[in-house]
Amino acid sequence: MTTKKTSGRGSRDLRVRVKTARGRKLSSTRWLERQLNDPYVQRAKREGYRGRAAFKILELDDKYHFLVPGARVVDLGCAPGGWCQVAVPRVNALGEKKGKPQGTVLGVDLQEVEPVPGAEIHQLDFLEDGADDKVKAWLGGKADVVMSDMAAASSGHKQTDHLRIIALCEAAAELAFDVLEEGGTFVAKVLAGGAENELQARLKRAFRKVANVKPPASRSDSSEKFVVATGFRGRPKDERGGMEDGGDGDMEDGED
């Protein structure tokens, strides 16, 4: 690894350059170089978070304030646990904020996840039949927040990856419809690409407000964005066997 010096008296570009080692792909070298120079990666290490993704939920919550003391939170696909780490102090899951209600953080993932102090983590495929009942049993009731930073394994084909992550987001929304308390919040990662229109329409019918946000911690060269749906009103009427109400929820697009 080397650092590149720039012109100018006493000035130096401290960006780390990684040489491609024998047997290592150029793409791997570029990934390693990006990680070493990413300020969010460096900050995560300093502050004890398990990954840079923790700052995405921090920034989203700083704007929309859904992780409040006493909230019951479900983190879908919670590995490696960074979002749970953020949620625990904000909802007062450890009861350390005296005089504030104590919340609950429930993480679920297909794989085993290293314990997060203050969070209850279960190994579960949230797509399986009865997963929503298990979640409600573990929570002791309904959730105030369902959040997901899940992404399907990359295929290298942009449109295929887009469709896969939208399918995951739709599945997460289905669980949210079943476990959210009235007034609750749904937060999930999506990839821009066009196929999310139907999902957005469903969320607009189920929530009072739906926003699309790219937080600062999301890399500028990434097509990811986050949908933040607040004010849950219940599963859309047309999906409960009743008449469709046409959807009068507010829709906004924003970028911090």
What 3-state DSSP class applies to 196? coil
Query: Residue 138, annotated ligand binder?
Result: no
Query: Residue 125, annotated ligand binder?
Result: yes
- Burial (CB < 10 A; 0-12, 13-18, 19+), residue 43, is middle
Q: Which residue has the tokens 């929570």?
A: 139
State the catalytic residues: 189
Query: Residue 81, annotated ligand binder?
Result: yes
Is residue 176 within 8 Å of residue 146, measured between CB atoms? yes
What span, in angstroms and rounded, lies between the C-alpha atoms of 234 and 61? 22
Q: How many other C-beta atoms are found inside a 10 Å radius of the C-beta of residue 132?
A: 18
What span, in angstroms and rounded, lies between the C-alpha atoms of 70 and 72? 7
Q: Which residues are CB-contacts of 60 (< 8 A; sequence separation ≥ 6)?
A: 187, 213, 215, 226, 228
Annotated binding-site residue numbers for S-adenosyl-L-methionine: 81, 83, 109, 125, 149
Q: Which residues does the annotation place in the binding site?
A: 81, 83, 109, 125, 149
